[in-house]
């Protein structure tokens, strides 16, 4: 996900925000829930706008011969609002992504339709039959950006609360992920765009420095 968040301007992201439809049988409770929902939607929109301004600044700053090296900080709430905003292009079959960052580690939660992920690639390996249908997925990874390079190392993946054995996960990534997204695997290293020198995952915060 760090790679996705730092993608270049021409990479468009998707997945529109889901709207909450809440009904209550008591008028008072319904009104309270409705007002709360409106407040959440307004806050989410504001956070998404704030994140977009910061991403725009990062891109524009990266066009300078000498970028401003003052750190740009994105909060976890801003990042997640951006993911819900409709600006983020997620892989087919992946939706409802939410990230939590703590001191160099990222935990991502999402819903995955594995049939869509596997679409167009037949496979007879019985071990990979685990990856079918729609499931809740939790990915734990270490992420760091330094010397203009980013690295994301996936430590574990759980499907509906059950951790996937490493060797089975490697089979799935080699078969369905890497062929579609070259360079992406359980341990990925990539160049950071826009003259980003460092990208540091802190306590619910992503700090970016450009030079």
pLDDT of residue 43: 60
On the question of pLDDT at 69 being above 70, the answer is yes
Tell me the average pLDDT of the chain.
83
On the question of pLDDT at 14 being above 60, the answer is no
**pLDDT over 90 percentage in the chain:** 63
133-150 mean pLDDT = 96
Contacting residues for 2 by C-beta, under 8 A, at least 6 apart = 106, 143, 145, 150, 152, 199, 201, 206
Return the CA Rg of the chain.
19
On the question of pLDDT at 50 being above 90, the answer is yes
The pTM is what? Answer: 0.75
| Strands annotated E in 25-127 | 72-75, 94-102, 105-113
């Amino acid at each position: 996900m760090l790679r996705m968040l730092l993608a270049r301007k021409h990479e468009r992201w998707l997945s529109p925000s889901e709207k909450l439809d809440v009904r209550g049988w008591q008028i008072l409770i319904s009104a309270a829930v409705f007002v709360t929902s409106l407040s959440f939607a307004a806050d989410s929109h504001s956070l998404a706008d704030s994140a977009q301004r910061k991403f725009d600044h990062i891109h524009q700053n990266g066009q300078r011969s000498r970028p401003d090296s003052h750190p740009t900080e994105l909060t976890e709430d801003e990042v997640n609002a951006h993911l819900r905003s409709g600006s983020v292009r997620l892989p087919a079959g992946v939706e409802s992504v939410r990230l939590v960052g703590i001191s160099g580690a990222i935990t991502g939660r999402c819903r995955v339709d594995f049939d869509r992920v596997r679409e167009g690639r037949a496979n007879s390996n019985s071990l990979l039959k685990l990856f079918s249908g729609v499931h809740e997925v939790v990915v734990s990874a270490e992420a760091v950006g330094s010397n203009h390079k980013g690295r994301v190392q996936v430590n574990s993946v759980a499907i509906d609360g059950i951790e996937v054995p490493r060797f089975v996960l490697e089979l799935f990534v080699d078969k369905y992920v890497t062929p579609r997204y070259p360079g992406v695997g359980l341990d990925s290293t990539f160049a950071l765009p826009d003259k980003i020198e460092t990208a540091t995952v802190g306590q619910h915060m992503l700090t970016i420095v450009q030079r």
